[in-house]
Structure 1
């Protein structure tokens, strides 16, 4: 068990530590809740960042995101075609990255 706090200085330090932890947790909650409370701003930021950095994009365009969502929802029901499509979605960023690398080298 923990030993009892004997001096008021130790007690005040412990209270300060608890206050700091509570503030840290509060800040974390605000940070993680911000995208949930402002989803339209997050989407707007995503679209503007895609437009400004088209050259350094990771290959996740709107079509790729939509295909991933559709396959996540209905992929198992599609059988063999769904399995092939999931493999293609997994391999696509690798192929796209190789193409960009070849383009930079030539």
Structure 2
């Protein structure tokens, strides 16, 4: 930001206004700088997770994570108390829930989106 041009015969009031504008701009820049400093660790963490996923070759990491959660939910969840076929029902639900992931794995790494 460039300093405003001050004329020789400017009134005291105009000079105060110019000073206040300069202070406000300084405060804006301080706030911008501090907010960047606060957000910087978050941005670094995002970059690290992207690099980690790319380094491992995990293309669909959120899908894998969701599949893991579904798998744990089905394996550790209680039955509905419907009788002896609870295990079979649970297995059918698990396989239908994981169908998109199974298709993705079966396609292999040869297909690029």
TM-score, structure 1 as length reference: 0.36
Higher helix share: 1
**Which of these two proteins has the greater Rg computed from alpha carbons?**
2
TM-score, structure 2 as length reference: 0.34
